[in-house]
Structures are given as C-alpha cells and as structure tokens.
Chains A and B, each alone.
Chain A
C-alpha cells in the first residue's frame, strides 16, 4: 500500500507547513517547476548577521513536494552554509537510493520520512524540487559552503 510513501511526518508537514511564505530579507530566489506535472516552488534565501541562513518558500504541488519544502526550510533555517551542506548532500543521496539506504536521523531528522519516496521514480522529483531551488538560490546569493567536510 502507500504507507511507505505517505509517512505521518509527511502528512503532518503537508497539512501544517512550516516556514511557508515567511517574510525574509531576501538575497536571492529560485523558481523551479516540474514540467511533467506543473508543480511550482519559489525558494528565497537570506542571511542572518551571524552568517546563518534564512529560508522561505512558496509554491503549490502534491503532498510530497509541499511536505519536502516544509521539512527543508525547517532543517536549513538557522544553519550556516557549512552546516547545511552535509544535510543537503545526505538528502540528495537518500533520494537516489531506490529505497536501499537507511537514512541517518542524526543528520536528516524529519527528512528521513522521505526514504520511501526514493522507491517511486515518478515521485523523486516531487521531493527534490524544493532542495534544487535551495541549491540554486544559494549559488545566486553566494551562500554556498566555503569549506568542505570531506577530509574530516
């Protein structure tokens, strides 16, 4: 059935989205569409005085795309680009895993609920669209991680 896709966490974020249409001092934004279904999302990015990221989004789409955007904003808001980078990388890796990866809850928190999505090729783009918009907005605002954790 569909319980592996529609986890409670996902339905909760869908019905009660976090961080949607929050007013922020935006440095850049990225508008992404999923041309196969018409889902749209705009992610705005800004920076607090302490260097941490401010994220806001707006859009319309299916439960997976909207819940993923909500989870993304909750995870990334208040993180430095360096703290955000491994979370973003872990989410990308999870989406490519075809359901074969046990997600790390320490890193991904609520985003582990999307593990089941990776088993449905038609829905992976739904889960990824807000994260793609985030990465694009970061590049436009030059708010990508300056150091990598690769050698740690």
Chain B
C-alpha cells in the first residue's frame, strides 16, 4: 500500500490555504488535483518537442508525433485496450456525443439512400435504454437523438437504497442502444455493467458505459465490461483538462460516420466528396491536444506505480470511514448505498433543515472543498426527493483526517443554523 503523506508532496496545491485555513480537498469526483510529474511531462513536451502531430517531416514533428502516439499506447494499456481503439476527445461528454452523432448521422444518411451500417440507423419503434442515475452527459445526448429520430428513451429506475432496479422488459427487441454509468457520481453505486451489456447484446443492441468515476478509482479492463463503447475524462484521474477518451471496438469505429470533420481525419479529399481515415484518426479532426495526451499518459503511469488495486482498497477504507462517521451525525442522511459493497467513494448526503449550498458554504469556511448541487444528476435528485446534495469525494491523497475535518464542518453548519432550524415550508 502507498503512503498518503509521502505522495501528497507530489501535489503542491494540497499544501495551500483557503479562507485562511489549510485546504482539505474532497471534490475529486469533480476534478482531481495534478501531481508535479504530470505537470512536468506537459512542460517537458512544450519545452523540448512542441510541434503539430501527424504532419510535417521535421525533427520536432517526428518527436511530437511519436510522443503523442506513445501516450495513446500507455493510456490504452492502462485499461487493457488495443491502441487503435482509443480516440482522444475534448472530454467524456464529447465521447458520448460522438457515439450519439454516429447514430444521428448514419440515420440521416440512410434517409438520403446512402450506404451505412444498419446497426447505427435508428427510428420510430426503436428504443434507447439508460438509467435514472446517469450524469446529464449520458442522458441529454440520448434524449436529443430520440427527438431527432423518433426513437423512444427508456430507463432503469433506482431502488430506495440506491441500486439499479434492473427490471425485465426495459431492454427488449426494440432496443438498439444501451448506455449506463459504471459508478454513479452522485450515489457512488457501482453498477453490474457486464450483466446489462450482456442483456443488450442478447437483443442485438450495442452498449456503452460511462467510466468517468470508475477508471480513476479502480482497476478497469474495458474488454471485461462487455461493452462496445466507453467514455471517460482525463482530468478526474490526475490528468489535465481538455482530454477525454472514447474507447470503441475497432470493427465499429471503422464503420461509424465521423462526428467532427476537417483536417487530419481524411483519407482523400476532392471538391465533390471525401473519404475518411480509419479510427482513431477518423475521429480526431483538427490539431489534437498533444500536451494533454502526454500528461494523461504520465498520470496513467503514476497510477500504475501506485497500483490500481491499492487505489481501490485505499478508497474503500476511506469510504467505509466516511459512511460510519456520517452515520453518527443526527439529522444527516446519506443518499446512496450505506455500505461499501459495490460502492465507490462518492458519498452524497443531506442535512435536515439546512440546504446543501449552506452546508457546503460553512464547510468551505473551514477549508473543506466539497461539491454541492445536483451534480449534473437532476433526475437522480428528484428520485430521492431532494433538491440537491452535499457530496464528499476522495482520492489517493486523502486520509481520515480530511474526513474528520469534513465532519467538523457539517457539525459547525448544524450549530450555526441551529440543530433544529424550523424553516416554515
């Protein structure tokens, strides 16, 4: 197991103060902090090899291209993927939209009588299946696709304890696509994605998983998930902002219509029409995020050195502690599973009589950075009849003392607002 105190030295931001007190960063579910190794990797690239990749024949262009493609290999290996199956996107949201637009564009082209892969043609009578615990990023693109094509959106609901209610019949012979979150960013629930992907394939549908909250926190092998596509972001796993990953089975990526078009993604261009490069270049139009790819690859190496199984165990211990300590506070209710079985480190809660914004503000005044709001999961909040929650999320650099400070912050909010604030409804 790694030493938290030792690795905290790699994160300069963790030693700063906010509001006049030491920072306690418990918002890694929103974005993780970055170790100097990642920052140095980006800086080293800019200072030594900066050039545009995949064009130009000068020495820097060669070095930059080599560094960019080696980064792709490192990132692919981190999740057990083949290098040609890893597409760099702006963020996880773009990766999901890329797949949604493959359906939309294939459907449009089919209407024009063009030859497209029928697995991506969708219309009235077809259904797309998601869950009630999706981040808006894995909900709104599918709503939009349904609105454009006449397909129907269906979803698995959530049980009272925060688990998916995998009812029979939601996925059926009408289903063309299923997209589910691996670990909920609000509830912390880890979903049985393999089971759901198998259900999708059994009816001939394709399937996708949102890995934003799982790849940074646990060992993930994309092939073992049984999905056809997966998307996640770099910035939640120690990497830079501005880069996300779309993983897809090569056979599918190479028959999907492109999303963004332009330079770099073409094979041949004539005035009348063009043909496109194979994946991943097919989906990387324009000058890509080279430094970010190099930074993210360095983040993968950093995490590999720690060992993802160790990362998971560390967070399981912290999550168990967080749940136990929150459980001791009267008037505090956790939204999501109450034990660490199939559960990650995102812990949402509400405090009786105090709005989450006010809880978060009082915690912030003690240096504790937590997320408040609906966490881009408005329907999930509605399911639990709460307007918003306060959310603690941990990572490799947190320890129990951080949780203790968070608990102290919640107590101070309760004292400040009066433990029994009677707000007239």
| Proximity bits, B361-401, A CB within 8 Å = 1, else 0 | 11001000000111000100100000110000000000000
Determine the chain A residues whose CB is within 8 A of the CB of B59 once the complex forms: none
- Are A1 and B355 neighbours in the complex by a CB distance under 8 Å? no
Q: Are B387 and A60 in contact (CB under 8 A)?
A: yes
The segment out of A22-30, A31-39, A90-98 that lies at the interface is A31-39
Number of interface residues of A (CB under 8 A): 24
Known: A2-B365, A37-B372, A38-B381. Contact between A63 and B424, CB under 8 A? no
Q: CB-defined interface of B342-371 with A at 8 Å, one 1/0 digit per residue?
A: 000000000000011110011001000000
Q: Which residues in window 68-94 of A have CB below 8 A to B?
A: none
A-B contacts, 17 of them at CB < 8 A, read A1-B365, A2-B365, A2-B416, A5-B361, A6-B358, A6-B416, A15-B421, A15-B423, A37-B357, A37-B387, A38-B381, A62-B357, A62-B358, A63-B355, A63-B357, A63-B417, A126-B357
Whether B114 sits at the interface, judged by CB under 8 Å, is: no
Indicate if the CB atoms of B387 and A16 lie closer than 8 Å: no
Q: When the two chains form their complex, are residues A16 and B388 in contact, meaning their CB atoms are under 8 A apart? A: no
Add 15 more A-B contacts to A38-B381, A61-B355, A62-B356 (CB < 8 A): A2-B361, A2-B362, A2-B416, A6-B416, A14-B423, A15-B424, A37-B372, A38-B373, A38-B378, A38-B387, A39-B387, A40-B387, A60-B387, A63-B355, A123-B361
Q: How far is the CA of A61 from the CA of B362 in the complex (A)?
A: 16
Does B422 have its Cβ within 8 Å of any Cβ on chain A? Answer: yes
Q: Mark B321-359, 1 if CB is under 8 A from A, else 0.
A: 000000000000000000000000000000000011110
A-B CB pair tally, cutoff 8 Å: 54
- What total of chain B residues lie within 8 Å of the partner, measured CB to CB? 20
Interface members, chain A 1-59 (any B CB < 8 Å): 1-2, 5-6, 11, 14-17, 20, 36-40
Complex Cα distance, B422 from A38, in Å, reads 22
**A-side contacts of B388, CB under 8 Å:** 37-39
Chain A residues with CB under 8 A of B387: 37-40, 60-61
Chain B residues with CB under 8 Å of A11's CB are 417
State whether A61 touches B416 (Cβ < 8 A): no
User: A120 contacts which chain B residues (CB < 8 A)?
Assistant: 361
Least CB distance, A34 to chain B, in whole angstroms = 9
Is there a chain B Cβ closer than 8 Å to A64's Cβ? yes
Q: Which residues of B contact A40 (CB under 8 A)?
A: 387
Q: Determine which residue in A16, A37, A66 has the highest number of CB atoms from chain B within 10 A of its CB, and name it.
A: A37
Given the known inter-chain contacts A2-B416, A6-B416, A37-B373, please indicate yes or no for A123 contacting B357, CB distance below 8 A.
yes
